Amino acid sequence: MKRALIIGATSAMAEATARGLAQRGAALYLVGRNAQRVAAIASDLTTRGASQVGYEALDVNDFAAHEAMLDRAMRAAGGLDIVLIAHGTLSDQHACEGSVDLTMRELSTNALSVVALCTRIAPRLAMQGCGTLAVISSVAGDRGRRSNYVYGSAKALVSAYLSGLRQQLSPAGVQVLTIKPGFVDTPMTAAFAKGPLWASPQRVAAGILSAIEKRRDVVYLPGFWRPVMWIMRMIPEGIFKRVAL
Amino acid sequence: MQRGPPRIVSSWGNVARGEHRVYGFSSRFEDFPDISGGCTVLPFGNGRSYGDSCLNVGGALLETRTLDRFIRFDADQGTLSCEAGVQLADILSVVVPAGWFPCVLPGTQYVTVGGAIANDVHGKNHHRAGTFGCHVTRFELLRPDGERMSCSAEETPDWFAATIGGLGLTGVVTWAQMRLRRVAGPWLDVESIRCADLDELLELSIESAKDFEYTVAWVDCLARGRRLGRGILQRANHADGAASAPRPAGGTGFAVPFAPPVSLVNSATLRLFNAAHYHRRRLRTRTVQHFQRFFFPLDGIRHWNRLYGPRGFHQYQCVIPGSGAGEAARSLLGAVAAAGEGSFLAILKCFGDRASPGLLSFPQSGITLALDFPNRGAPLAALFGRLDAIVAQSGGRLYPAKDARMPGDLFRAGYPRHGEFLRFTNPRCSSSFWRRVMADA
Ligand SMILES: Cc1cc2nc3c(=O)[nH]c(=O)nc-3n(C[C@H](O)[C@H](O)[C@H](O)COP(=O)(O)OP(=O)(O)OC[C@H]3O[C@@H](n4cnc5c(N)ncnc54)[C@H](O)[C@@H]3O)c2cc1C
Ligand SMILES: NC(=O)c1ccc[n+]([C@@H]2O[C@H](COP(=O)([O-])OP(=O)(O)OC[C@H]3O[C@@H](n4cnc5c(N)ncnc54)[C@H](OP(=O)(O)O)[C@@H]3O)[C@@H](O)[C@H]2O)c1
């Protein structure tokens, strides 16, 4: 039986992943911003087969509250095999360009809060000498684009941070998994028109669970985004700056 | 929240389609979304209705697919509450291992609880269990004006009766509570019996109702004359715990990837299929079957509706009440056979006399006949006209869940409580079906 902590548990991708874990009888600890919704998800996961479900409400930008939350999560399950960090907000690029406050807030939610959490989670997993730290970054972090470079740069920070953390933790036997989804049909992207490139949160969740099982380092979900983003990274900056993306 | 720009939505039969603004929920605690532009709105489950009763072309749809959380499963009492977008397939995967079973299952498990309530769906055990709504004990109705009502037969009998079978026109059901029934395991004891004509089929159906919980008949509707109404009756009971058989591998994995340019279901393929299907069976067989195979034989092939090609298909489902039902069924099958418009799926079932809870529920005591036809345009419309006349004359009615074309006067004659129902419809809710059948009222 696995013990998992899920931060940003009300995210559609996190919830789909949690259902997969519940079906396998995992013990879960859910953390989300909206208490009522986290509680509803907890009841659902209990019904779907989770052996134990604890939960609490937390705004991830409240860095000072992280330590106590992690203590409670570890106590509830008696250790952790998997920590999944999934929260995020799709920044309004145009609005960010007109507001330093908003830009800083977006960077905080999408990057700094993740760094703060990982800083506290890393030594705990290292001490255990096992476990998985899985974080949802994004293909958007692979290259800054005019349409969403505040969000993209936050995800780039997360990806780079995890790459270093992986080097640090792998001797201790801890898996650090960077998850880079492409377009996923979730509340975050509700307003977009959907096409054939879009994946369901269920499909992404299956990819996350399999990547954890196979102890992968970096996954693109679905996998076709890996070559697509490789090409995107290869375009010389002199050309890239003239492309509207 | 609004989900993307307006888009084309169609239903299971692919005959009704059109542009909709699409809205959704991220949780059941959310308010009824603000529908921009003042257009009407209709809840949308999983689109397994065949015609236009789940569409609101030119208006808005409110998707419930993200309301898919279980709320509480009491494995001692056999009660389940869940959000309205939970599909029966998910319920089965949770309750069967615990020894419980839904009281009523339609012919596909990919319907939502909200959709099952709004059409007050029936199954092969109607003669015992009545409709889906008979086992719903409570639900929450969220209306476009923002009001939330907790509805039950005791506290709000009028809203309860209007919303069950209410075609989504009273508001959106956000969650529901239902009773389950005990089973020993996933297996059924199934008998299939070949019947040489309609009399034999009806007689055996009625007789089987006494000792069998589930009964349903497949009819070879290309057979004429003496053989009119020949078919195969299936009857079944839940098997005891010791029974077992090979477990189906969770669907065949087959999917129809796209609609072929013409319907693969036509009179030549039908003639072959029907003759083979009828003669394949021995006079009487008895097998143990997994519930998936018994209840949902078509769910194994995803998107089987695409086999009918881009023009789609119609299902014609009627119920004929009373003592004249057998004769009416004979006339209906006679008309179909004479037209040569064979139907691949022709299902006959005797409904029991348990009263349906909804003002507009379809099932009533009598015989129901469901026939699938590839959409061949005018000749099919002419046949439907002849079938309508028989249904109207025998005091029967058609099933809105399967319909994309019934005339308004046939609807209103078949559903005499539609006037009473009007008091509960929300002015901001509407559907393509509703506008069609009430246009000339
Ligand atoms: C292969 C197959 C076999 C079938 N067999 C049977 C059968 O044996 N017996 C039977 O009775 N039916 C049968 N049906 C029909 C099917 O059960 C009904 O059409 C059912 O209502 C579809 O549910 P849905 O979730 O797809 O809802 P939709 O088709 O999306 O919607 C159906 C209606 O429900 C309303 N609705 C949906 N959700 C809500 C909600 N949350 N609150 C309020 N209103 C809501 C919609 O507005 C619409 O009026 C079958 C269909 C198929 C495809
Ligand atoms: N959808 C995509 O196309 C896509 C693509 C690549 C990467 N991603 C990433 O995937 C992850 C999951 O997103 P999703 O698509 O599943 O979207 P989602 O359903 O909208 O989930 C985002 C979650 O983050 C939570 N959150 C936001 N700010 C928070 C805060 N300050 N404190 C606590 N929780 C907060 C939200 O909580 P509330 O519900 O309470 O607001 C919400 O549950 C995110 O990291 C996202 O950046 C998404």
Q: Do B2 and A191 touch (CB under 8 A)?
A: yes
What separation in Å is there between the alpha carbon of A214 and the centre of ligand 2? 25
Q: Residue B431 falls within a domain, yes or no?
A: no
Residue B164 clears pLDDT 70, i.e. is over it = yes
Q: Would you call A193 and B7 a contact, using CB atoms and an 8 Å cutoff?
A: yes
pLDDT at B327 over 90: yes
Nearest CA in chain B to A36: B29
Nearest residue of chain A to residue B23 (CA atoms): A190
Residue B315: band (very low, low, confident or very high) from pLDDT cuts 50, 70, 90: very high
Distance CA A112, CA A160 (A): 13
Q: Rounded to a whole number, what is the distance in Å from the CA of B26 to chain A's nearest CA?
A: 7
Determine the average pLDDT of the residues in B120-145.
98
| Residue B1 belongs to some domain of the structure | no
At B271 the pLDDT is 78
The ligand with the least distance to the CA atom of B315 is 1
**Structural domain of residue B269, as residue ranges?**
188-407
Residue B237 counted as domain residue: yes
User: Residue B24 and residue A193: Cβ atoms within 8 Å?
Assistant: no
B371 is a domain residue: yes
Question: Could you tell me the distance, in angstroms and rounded to a whole number, from the CA of residue A38 to the centre of ligand 2?
Answer: 14
- Predicted pLDDT at A132: 98
Per-residue pLDDT tens for B212-231?
A: 999 999 999 888 889 999 99
Per-run averaged pLDDT (10 residues), chain A, 245 residues: 96 98 97 98 98 98 98 94 98 97 98 98 96 98 96 98 98 98 96 94 98 98 98 95 85
Q: Hey, are the CB atoms on B2 and A190 less than 8 Å from each other?
A: yes
Residue A81 near residue A130, CB atoms below 8 Å = yes
Q: Is B397 helix (H, G, I), strand (E, B) or coil?
A: strand
Dist CA B335 CA B315 (whole Å) = 16
Q: Do A43 and B5 touch (CB under 8 A)?
A: no
> Which residue of chain B has the CA closest to A42?
B71
| Complete domains list, chain A, with CATH | 3-240 (3.40.50.720)
How does pLDDT run across B49-79, given as a tens digit for each residue? 999 999 999 999 999 999 999 999 999 999 9
Tell me which of B151, B183, B215 is where a domain ends: B183
Listed range (B21-35, B235-249, B288-302, B356-370) with the worst mean pLDDT = B235-249
| B238-262 mean pLDDT | 70
A196 CB near a chain B CB, below 8 Å? no
A36 interaction partners in chain B (CB closer than 8 Å) = 27, 29
Same domain, B122 and B203: no
Contact A4, A26 (CB under 8 A): yes
Q: Residue A179 Cα, ligand 2 centroid: separation in angstroms?
A: 13
User: Tokens at residue B265, please?
Assistant: 């279901």
- Active-site entry in A29, A55, A151, A161: A151
The total of other beta-carbon atoms located within 10 Å of residue B159's CB is 20
- CB of A194 within 8 Å of any CB in chain B? yes
Cβ B318 under 6 angstroms from ligand 1: no
| Residue-level pLDDT at B281 | 66
Band (pLDDT 50/70/90 cuts) for residue B278 is confident
Q: Are residues B359 and B233 in the same domain?
A: yes
Is residue B392 in some structural domain?
yes
The pLDDT score that the predictor gives to residue A194 is 93
Q: Whose CA is nearest to atom 49 of ligand 1?
A: B167
Tell me the nearest-neighbour CA distance from B253 into chain A, angstroms.
17
Most confident of B80-94, B251-265, B296-310: B80-94
pLDDT computed for residue B261 by the predictor: 77
A151 is catalytic: yes
ipTM exceeding cut-off 0.85 for this assembly: yes
B56 lines ligand 1 (CB under 6 A): no
Residues with CB under 6 A from ligand 2: A 8, 10-13, 32-34, 59-61, 86-89, 109, 136, 138, 181, 183-184, 186-189
Q: Does B246 have pLDDT greater than 90? A: no
**A chain contacts of residue B70, beta-carbon cutoff 8 Å:** 43-44, 47-48
Percent of chain B at pLDDT above 70?
A: 97
Question: What's the pLDDT at B111?
Answer: 98
Q: Does residue B212 share a domain with residue B76?
A: no
In a domain? residue B5: no
Q: What is the pLDDT of residues B346-370, one digit of tens each?
A: 999 999 999 999 999 999 999 999 9
Q: For residues B375 and B250, state if they share a domain.
A: yes
Interface of A with B in 129-188 (CB under 8 A): 187
Contact yes or no for B182/B79 (Cβ under 8 A): no
Phi and psi, residue B185, nearest 5°: 180, -170
Distance, C-alpha A75 to centroid of its chain: 23
For residues B169 and B419, give the distance between their C-alpha atoms in angstroms, rounded to a whole number. Answer: 14
B203 and B237 both lie in a single domain: yes
Distances (CA, A) of A185 to A74, A90, A110, B124: 32, 13, 19, 37
Q: Are B79 and B206 found together in one domain?
A: no
- Predicted local distance difference test score (pLDDT) of residue B288: 95
Phi and psi at residue A96, to the nearest 5°: -60, -35
Q: How confident is the model at residue A214, as a pLDDT?
A: 98
Domains of chain B: total = 2
**pLDDT reading at B142 higher than 90:** yes
Return the C-alpha torsion angle A49, A53, A56, A62, nearest 10: -90
The three-class DSSP label of residue A45 is: helix
Strand-strand pairing, B41-44 and A52-57:
unpaired
Position B4 confidence tier, pLDDT thresholds 50, 70, 90 = confident
Interface subset of B 270-289, CB within 8 angstroms of A: none
Give chain B positions within 8 Å (CB) of A10.
27
Give the tokens for residue B326: 């057998």
Q: Is B437 part of any domain? A: no
Query: Does the beta carbon of B45 sit less than 6 angstroms from any atom of ligand 1?
Result: yes
Residue B329 within any structural domain of the chain = yes
Residue B344 pLDDT grade (very low, low, confident, very high; cuts 50, 70, 90): confident
Single-letter amino acid, residue B429: C
- Identify the residue whose C-alpha is closest to ligand 1 atom 5: B107
C-alpha B198/C-alpha A48 separation (Å) is 46
Q: Are both B244 and B105 inside the same structural domain? A: no
Question: What is Dmax (Cα atoms) for chain A?
Answer: 55
Q: Do residue B153 and residue B225 come from a single domain?
A: no
Mean pLDDT in residue range B93-97: 97
Among the listed residues B258, B254, B210, the one whose alpha carbon sits nearest the alpha carbon of residue B235: B210
| Residue B36 forms contact with A (CB below 8 Å) | no
Specify whether B281 is located in the same domain as B302: yes
Asked whether residue B179 falls in the same domain as residue B196, the answer is: no
Choice from B105, B108, B170, B424 to test ligand 1 binding pocket (greatest atom count within 8 A of CB)? B108
B123 close to B104: Cβ distance less than 8 angstroms: yes
CATH number of the domain encompassing residue B88:
3.30.465.10
Find the helix packing angle between A113-128 and A66-77, rounded to 10°. 40
Test B4 with A40 for CB contact under 8 angstroms. no
Residues contacting residue B375 through CB under 8 Å, at least 6 positions apart: B13, B15, B263, B308, B311, B312, B313, B314
What lies within 8 Å, CB to CB, of A89 at 6+ separation is A106, A109, A110, A188
> Closest by alpha carbon to B10, among B312, B300, B360?
B312
The alpha carbon of A10 and the centre of ligand 2 are apart by a number of angstroms equal to 8
A111 C-alpha vs ligand 2 centroid, how far in Å?
12
Collect all residues with Cβ–Cβ distance below 8 Å to A239 and sequence separation of at least 6.
Answer: none
Contact B126, B351 (CB under 8 A): yes
Task: Specify whether B236 is located in the same domain as B342.
Answer: yes
Question: For B25, which residue in chain A has the nearest alpha carbon?
Answer: A187
Please indicate, yes or no, whether residues B229 and B289 belong to a single structural domain of this protein: yes
